[in-house]
């Protein structure tokens, strides 16, 4: 099995990008160890604090964020970082050529039940001669991403990574201490019979998503003419990993449960990197009305609706949205 660096060099990554990715993964290996220790490491449970998103932080949220922030900034390769857990961006080396955004621990509500969680990251180019303390340097569309990936902390620790030359899967070899290539080229099947969505929010969705899911639930007797299975892990990283492995569609659609926050997932920390991974594996990703990676961000903590996965199924879902006269 091949090691990470030679594969990245084959894909055209330069030495600095490879070094930065290895730095991110060094932090993720430490997070993986702490996660694997569970209650023995004393990091389960919640803190008494809320993050900028208004969510109660888990102890592992804080630990993962500090590990990633410190190690990435110490590398000297980045101009600044932006974390889902931080109120604003954090300046680094003014001469750094990269920006890094990350969700340090996606699905952290799963930590106390020993279920799937992960780290999501994205690497962007740093504008020349920019102010490292200026958050606006991060307001780039997903199409500008140099690399994107996630590390999944499951029965094995796995890395999904793309530098724009396809999506590959790696597995952490704990005897060697590094990530080894275990799937050369991920190809998401275009057709699927699996969907992942939080059905408890169904009554709050917009009409197109209501109609789409209602038709799926009718199964073989309905307009789609086949039976579907529902899967929901409550961690985007786990649901997207399943899609990369065997196809499916994942949706976190807009809902009206809280009119001030109709969208749930963060554009920079979740939607863009996952969209790049999925598209590089032959899938599709949209808000329902727009390709996610073409969105021009207006805020570092901007939220969007997400529909991604097997191309044919995503297209079918989008057809419902095209008939919604209340939207552009």
Same domain, 160 and 205: no
Could you tell me if residue 328 is inside a domain? no
The answer to whether the annotation marks 244 as part of a ligand binding site is: no
Total structural domains within the chain: 2
| Stated pTM of the model | 0.95
Could you tell me if residue 112 is inside a domain? yes
Same domain, 173 and 139: yes
The answer to whether the annotation marks 270 as part of a ligand binding site is: yes
The answer to whether the annotation marks 108 as part of a ligand binding site is: yes
What is the DSSP code (8-state) at residue 203? G
Same domain, 144 and 252: no
Same domain, 229 and 135: no
Same domain, 160 and 208: no
Which residue from 8, 188, 26 is spatially nearest to 121, judged by alpha carbons? 26
The answer to whether the annotation marks 294 as part of a ligand binding site is: no
Same domain, 30 and 132: yes
Which mean pLDDT values do the consecutive 10-residue runs of the chain (328 residues) have?
96 98 98 91 71 71 95 98 96 98 94 93 97 98 98 97 98 95 98 97 96 98 97 97 98 92 96 98 98 98 98 98 68
What does the block give as tokens for 266?
């963060």
Same domain, 36 and 173: yes
H/E stretch holding 320 reads: helix 311-322
Q: Would you tell me how many other CB atoms lie within 10 Å of the CB of residue 66? A: 14
Same domain, 232 and 255: yes
At 57, give phi and psi (nearest 5°): -80, 140
Q: How many residues does the chain have?
A: 328
The answer to whether the annotation marks 84 as part of a ligand binding site is: yes
Same domain, 52 and 110: yes
pLDDT digits (tens, 9 = 90+) for 40-93: 877 777 765 666 666 667 889 999 999 999 999 999 999 999 999 999 999 999
Tell me the C-alpha distance between 25 and 266, whole Å.
22
What does the block give as tokens for 141?
């569309």
Q: Which of 149, 183, 217 is the last residue of a domain?
A: 183
Q: Which of 145, 160, 183 is the last residue of a domain?
A: 183
Could you tell me if residue 259 is inside a domain? yes
- CB proximity list for 11: less than 8 A, separation 6 or greater: 163, 164, 165, 166
Q: Would you tell me how many other CB atoms lie within 10 Å of the CB of residue 277? A: 28
Could you tell me if residue 300 is inside a domain? yes
**What does the DSSP assignment read for 60-117?**
HHHHHHHHHHHHHHHTS-EEEEEETTSSS-EE--TT--EEEEEEEEETGGGGGGT--E
Tell me the C-alpha distance between 193 and 203, whole Å.
23
Same domain, 166 and 204: no
Domain range enclosing 288: 194-322
Tell me the C-alpha distance between 293 and 271, whole Å.
8
Same domain, 176 and 256: no
Same domain, 32 and 66: yes
The answer to whether the annotation marks 264 as part of a ligand binding site is: yes
Could you tell me if residue 138 is inside a domain? yes
The predicted pLDDT at position 168 comes to 98
Mean pLDDT (the chain, rounded): 94
The predicted pLDDT at position 221 comes to 98
As a whole number of Å, the end-to-end CA separation of the chain is 49
SS3 35: helix
Q: Would you tell me how many other CB atoms lie within 10 Å of the CB of residue 306? A: 27
Instruction: Indicate which CATH number applies to the domain containing 48.
Output: 3.30.540.10
Could you tell me if residue 188 is inside a domain? no
The answer to whether the annotation marks 109 as part of a ligand binding site is: yes
Instruction: Indicate which CATH number applies to the domain containing 216.
Output: 3.40.190.80
pLDDT digits (tens, 9 = 90+) for 76-87: 999 999 999 999
At 79, give phi and psi (nearest 5°): -75, -35
Q: Which of 157, 183, 209 is the last residue of a domain?
A: 183
């Amino acid at each position: 099995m091949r090691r990470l660096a030679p594969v990245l060099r084959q894909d055209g990554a330069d030495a600095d990008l490879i070094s930065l990715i290895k730095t991110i993964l060094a932090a993720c290996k430490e997070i993986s160890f702490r996660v694997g220790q569970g209650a023995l490491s004393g990091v389960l449970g919640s803190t008494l604090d809320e993050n900028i998103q208004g969510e109660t932080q888990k102890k592992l949220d804080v630990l993962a964020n500090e590990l990633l922030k410190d190690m990435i900034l110490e590398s000297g390769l980045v101009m600044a970082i932006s974390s889902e857990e931080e109120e604003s961006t954090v300046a680094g080396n003014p001469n750094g050529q990269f920006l890094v955004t990350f969700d340090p621990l996606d699905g952290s509500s799963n930590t106390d039940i020993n279920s799937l969680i992960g780290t999501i990251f994205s690497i962007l180019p740093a504008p020349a001669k920019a102010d490292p303390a200026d958050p606006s340097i991060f307001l780039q569309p997903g199409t500008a991403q140099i690399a994107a990936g996630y590390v999944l902390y499951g029965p094995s620790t796995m890395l999904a990574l793309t530098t724009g030359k396809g999506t590959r899967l790696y597995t952490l070899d704990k005897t060697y201490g590094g990530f080894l290539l275990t799937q050369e080229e991920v190809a998401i099947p275009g057709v699927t019979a699996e969907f992942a969505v939080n059905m408890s929010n169904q009554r709050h969705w917009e009409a197109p998503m209501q109609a789409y899911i209602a038709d799926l639930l009718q199964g073989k007797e309905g307009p789609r003419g086949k039976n579907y299975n529902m899967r929901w892990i409550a961690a985007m990283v786990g649901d997207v990993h399943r899609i990369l492995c065997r196809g499916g569609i994942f949706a976190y659609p807009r809902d009206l449960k809280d009119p001030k926050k109709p969208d749930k997932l963060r554009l920079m920390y979740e939607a863009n990197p996952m969209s790049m991974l999925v598209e590089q594996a032959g899938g599709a990703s949209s808000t329902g009305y727009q390709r996610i990676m073409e969105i021009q961000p207006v805020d570092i903590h901007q939220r969007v609706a997400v529909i991604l996965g097997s191309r044919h199924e995503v297209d079918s879902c989008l057809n419902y949205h095209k008939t919604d006269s209340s939207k552009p």
